[in-house]
Amino acid sequence: MADFKQLVFSGVQPTGNLHLGNYLGAIVKFVELQKSHDCIYCVVDLHAITVPQDPRQLTSSIREVTAAFIACGIDPKAHIIFNQSQVPEHAELAWVFNCVARLGWLNRMTQFKEKAGKDRENASVGLYAYPALMAADILVYRATHVPVGEDQKQHLELSRDIAQKFNNDFSEWIARTGFGDAFFPLPEPLIQGPATRVMSLRDGTKKMSKSDPSDYSRINLTDDADAIAKKVRKAKTDPEPLPSEEVGLKPRPEADNLVGIYAALSGSSKSAVLRDFGGAQFSTFKSALVDLSVTRLGPIGAEMKKLTGDPVYIDSVLADGSERAGQIARKTMDAVKDILGFIRH
């Protein structure tokens, strides 16, 4: 396959309550990858409207995710931060991909089944077609690497299938247009480390999520030290002390989750955490986890508050990022139109 320039792309939905799962599963990696790659990070507002949104709330959520990116350490000058709706090529390429993806592929998507629930007839067409838009987000930049949490793995596989089918279906025209044997790279998911699936603090078998009705199920990036301490102390555990080896966590989802969170926050591994805390009671471990969480998350929450207080600055970051992202996306879209045989004026 053709050689593609390495480029990182990822997105976060502006649907309120950014939490520790988003931070450890995705944003921490976004920050790390800036050192080694060119990165594009997107506030995916078009994805947000696949379920009903209050427009005023959506505006402030878009600014909040942008603020979180910056507060966590993403540099909007060296890299790109923007909101999806301002680069129309995302929606344009998504239409092309709607015509490439097969119904059978989308029917397998577990997230659609979960989100649509029992009333599937009443789900929006957008919610169903969502993975094709996600593929367009990545491929409109011909991005090669995508840091995400475990829950996005299936969508990433679909993106690869779409890229592959486009490359195959149009191989002759791709070659004639001068793009060699493949126009799109097959984007690689980056799903690594001890917290690729952070679980609810109330139930270790359920994913930590923005939409859980209990605020005690998650630590929000905007929580203050008191709220963090309360939530960690109330987190569900079992009566046994912590094991000394990782295998001892297997049948204990709540213990496994808290140890994974500690490992990710401290930049170590579960086995290293258990070397320090094996045999300890949860009360001791939870106190250490509160201290670590407050140290790591406190400054982020404070910075987010400061940044969201200056919407003019936030909007200027998004405008600048959208302009730069748009320049790349337009080039891809022009090439796609040539490959498809459309007439450009």
Q: How many other β-carbons are positioned within 10 Å of the β-carbon of residue 304?
A: 23
Q: Residue 264 has which token pair? A: 């990710």
Least distance between ligand TYM and beta carbon 253 (Å) = 13
Q: Residue 135 has which token pair? A: 């593929």
Query: Could you identify the residue written with the tokens 């090439």?
Result: 335
Q: How big is the site for ligand TYM, counted in residues (CB under 6 A)? A: 25
Residue showing the smallest CB distance to ligand TYM in the complex: 25
CA 240-243-247 angle, to 5 degrees, is 120
From 8, 198, 228, 229, residue interacting with ligand TYM (rule: CB under 6 A): 198
Classify residue 155 as exposed, middle or buried by CB count within 10 Å of its CB (0-12, 13-18, 19+): buried
| Known catalytic residue at 115 | yes
Classify residue 291 as exposed, middle or buried by CB count within 10 Å of its CB (0-12, 13-18, 19+): middle
> Which helix (H) or strand (E) element contains residue 115?
helix 110-116
With respect to ligand TYM, which residue has the nearer C-beta, 108 or 176? 108
Per CB under 6 A, contacts with ligand TYM among 7-66 are: 9-13, 21-22, 25-26, 44, 47
With respect to ligand TYM, which residue has the nearer C-beta, 159 or 167? 159
CB 17 within 8 A of CB 220: yes
* Dihedral sign of CA atoms 195, 201, 202, 208 in order: negative
* 148 binds ligand TYM per the rule CB under 6 A: yes
- Range in contact with ligand TYM (rule: CB under 6 A) among 3-11, 67-75, 95-103, 223-231: 3-11
Q: Which of 115, 165, 236, 331 is catalytic?
A: 115
Least distance between ligand TYM and beta carbon 333 (Å) = 17
Least distance between ligand TYM and beta carbon 143 (Å) = 8
DSSP 145: E
Least distance between ligand TYM and beta carbon 36 (Å) = 18
With respect to ligand TYM, which residue has the nearer C-beta, 12 or 72? 12
Per CB under 6 A, contacts with ligand TYM among 217-256 are: none
Q: Residue 242 has which token pair? A: 């912590």
* 182 binds ligand TYM per the rule CB under 6 A: no
With respect to ligand TYM, which residue has the nearer C-beta, 207 or 286? 207
CB 242 within 8 A of CB 269: no
Q: How far apart are the first and last CA of the chain?
A: 31
| DSSP string of 194-235, one letter each residue | TTSSPBPSS-TTSB--TT-S-GGG--BTT--HHHHHHHHHHS
From 45, 64, 137, 223, residue interacting with ligand TYM (rule: CB under 6 A): 137
With respect to ligand TYM, which residue has the nearer C-beta, 146 or 325? 146
CB 22 within 8 A of CB 148: no
| Known catalytic residue at 210 | yes
- Range in contact with ligand TYM (rule: CB under 6 A) among 71-79, 121-129, 143-151, 299-307: 143-151
| Known catalytic residue at 206 | no
With respect to ligand TYM, which residue has the nearer C-beta, 47 or 63? 47
Q: Which of 5, 35, 77, 210 is catalytic?
A: 210
Binding residues for ligand TYM (CB under 6 A): 9-13, 21-22, 25-26, 44, 47, 134, 137-138, 146, 148-149, 151-152, 155, 196-198, 207-208
